[in-house]
């Protein structure tokens, strides 16, 4: 394996995340209108199918850190890409609910395996002082993948099967690239680094509160991810191709999420959580109120994209900070909670759409989001230290990563010699 620079690895990781998250997971909602029409599926059935990749994502995420250790980062990434290619191909050939379900389940496994594999590879290939920056670039791949799906729906909305075949081809390219670039070894921990301290009851309580907020956000966001394009097509009488502009807006605005999460770490995470969740809820109401106006619908998508990506970045950073030294656990728990919330919310919103219509269903989810936002003072704070000490420790994603490996004095671990 040839050594690559940190910048190259960050861009490579963003590309794999774009395929596994943006195309294999979040692009599905964009194609719901033509898929539902061609396969004659009701909203409640689509809601259940939309929950399946989230469930398989959770199951894959639970075993992914162990897989990265046992079979190595390269094989885990290759396995992820293989599931992505399989799932996207199955979706392209779906003839009904069962075959479509098989495809989205495989795509969920792809998504769950990819990020742990890339994180393990980052431990080997990237200097620790750059982990925060590289992670931010890789996380931006989700927004890039969502935006990449836009040309497909603009030009291939009527032939969505060809769009998914094109996505499958990209997944195959990702598989080959993962084999060539990612090392076969697992992440390396220095022998003289201090082991992580036992998890205290206070940490568990804070993680529980974080997971509840993450679950609620996932629950509310499921309405947009699964049914936003379907709403503007069926309620606003827009053509299926026009929904691509919604996902373009989501992807472009989502790129600002990393900046907002970083600012939250420097200021007040509970206030950021409240503001972003209110914005996410407002995006649901705005879309339901103006489904026939493309500009307003696209603006609602921008609000949703910024709010959603900001909240996932905030939950990632909070999870890392709450469990220093446990990178395979701290950020995983809130992401699992978000996916579980989406898995529960997807069939619920599908049932509501089927029984009370799009407007009332989105209004109900909007109200739920606002109520959860009002509880944001309960959002867990990171550490029980005074402000001066917190300032000395630094803020932002890189500062959070610095404390994932500590020396015996509890300070960020530094290598005696620079890495090659």
- pLDDT at residue 379 greater than cutoff 60: yes
Helix (H) or strand (E) holding 8: helix 6-17
pLDDT band at 362 (very low <50, low <70, confident <90, very high): very high
Torsion sign (Cα): 81, 102, 38, 285: negative
- Ranges 9-13, 119-123, 149-153, 274-278, most confident: 274-278
Query: What pLDDT is recorded for position 352?
Result: 93
Query: What pLDDT is recorded for position 82?
Result: 96
Percent of all residues in the chain with a pLDDT value above 70, rounded to a whole number = 82
Whether the CB-CB separation of 39 and 130 falls below 8 Å is answered with no
Per-residue pLDDT averaged across 372-384, rounded?
A: 81
pLDDT band at 209 (very low <50, low <70, confident <90, very high): very high
Q: pTM, whole model, 2 decimals?
A: 0.81
Residue-wise pLDDT for 279-329, tens only, equals 999 999 999 998 888 889 889 999 999 999 889 888 888 887 787 766 666
Helices 332-356 & 294-322 angle (0-180, nearest 10): 150
For the chain, the domains span: 6-402
Q: How far apart are CA 190 and CA 171, in angstroms?
A: 34
Residue-wise pLDDT for 214-233, tens only, equals 999 999 999 999 888 888 88
- pLDDT at residue 405 greater than cutoff 70: no
Neighbours of 195 (CB within 10 A): 9
Q: Average the pLDDT over each of 124-128, 227-231, 360-364 and give the range with the smallest value.
A: 124-128
Query: What pLDDT is recorded for position 181?
Result: 87
Query: What pLDDT is recorded for position 348?
Result: 94
Query: What pLDDT is recorded for position 19?
Result: 92
Tell me the Ramachandran region of residue 182: left when phi exceeds 0, alpha when psi lies from -120 to 50, beta otherwise. Answer: beta
Query: What pLDDT is recorded for position 325?
Result: 64
Whether the CB-CB separation of 137 and 76 falls below 8 Å is answered with no
Q: Which of 89, 111, 108, 96 is nearest to 165 (CA)?
A: 89
Fold classification of 6-402 (topology level): Growth Hormone; Chain: A; (1.20.1250)
Query: What pLDDT is recorded for position 90?
Result: 96
Per-residue pLDDT averaged across 2-28, rounded?
A: 85
């Amino acid at each position: 394996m040839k050594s690559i620079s940190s910048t190259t690895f960050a861009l490579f990781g963003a590309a794999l995340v774009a395929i596994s998250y943006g195309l294999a997971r979040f692009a599905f909602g964009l194609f719901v209108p033509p898929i539902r029409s061609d396969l004659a599926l009701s909203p409640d059935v689509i809601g259940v199918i939309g929950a399946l990749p989230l469930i398989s994502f959770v199951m894959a995420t639970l075993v992914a850190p162990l897989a990265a250790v046992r079979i190595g980062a390269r094989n885990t990434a290759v396995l992820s890409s293989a599931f992505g290619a399989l799932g996207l191909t199955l979706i392209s050939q779906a003839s009904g609910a069962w075959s479509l379900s098989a495809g989205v389940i495989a795509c969920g496994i792809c998504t769950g395996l990819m990020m742990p594999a890339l994180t393990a590879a980052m431990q080997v290939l990237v200097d620790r002082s750059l982990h925060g920056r590289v992670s931010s670039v890789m996380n931006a791949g989700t927004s890039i993948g969502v935006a990449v799906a836009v040309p497909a729906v603009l030009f291939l909305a009527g032939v969505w099967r060809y769009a998914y075949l094109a996505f499958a081809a990209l997944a195959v390219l990702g598989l080959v690239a993962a084999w060539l670039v990612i090392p076969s070894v697992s992440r390396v921990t220095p022998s003289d680094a201090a082991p992580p301290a036992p998890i205290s009851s206070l940490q568990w309580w804070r993680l529980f509160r974080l997971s509840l907020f993450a679950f609620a956000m996932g629950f509310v966001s499921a309405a947009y991810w699964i049914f936003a394009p379907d709403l503007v097509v069926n309620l606003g009488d827009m053509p299926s191709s026009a929904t691509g502009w919604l996902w373009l807006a989501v992807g472009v605005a989502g790129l600002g999420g990393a900046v907002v999460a970083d600012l939250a770490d420097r200021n007040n995470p509970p206030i950021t959580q409240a503001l972003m969740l209110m914005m996410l809820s407002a995006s649901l109401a705005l879309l339901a109120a103006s489904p026939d106006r493309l500009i307003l619908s696209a603006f609602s998508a921008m609000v949703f994209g910024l709010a959603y990506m900001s909240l996932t970045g905030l939950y990632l950073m909070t999870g890392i900070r709450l469990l220093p030294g446990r990178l395979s656990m701290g950020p995983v728990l809130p992401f699992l909670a978000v996916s579980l919330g989406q898995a529960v919310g997807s069939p619920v919103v599908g049932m509501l759409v089927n029984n009370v219509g799009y407007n009332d269903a989105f209004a109900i989810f909007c109200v739920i989001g606002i109520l959860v936002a009002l509880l944001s003072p309960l959002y867990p704070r990171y550490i029980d230290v005074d402000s001066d000490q917190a300032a000395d420790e630094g803020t932002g994603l890189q500062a959070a990563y610095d404390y994932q490996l500590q020396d015996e004095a509890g300070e960020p671990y530094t290598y005696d010699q620079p890495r090659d």
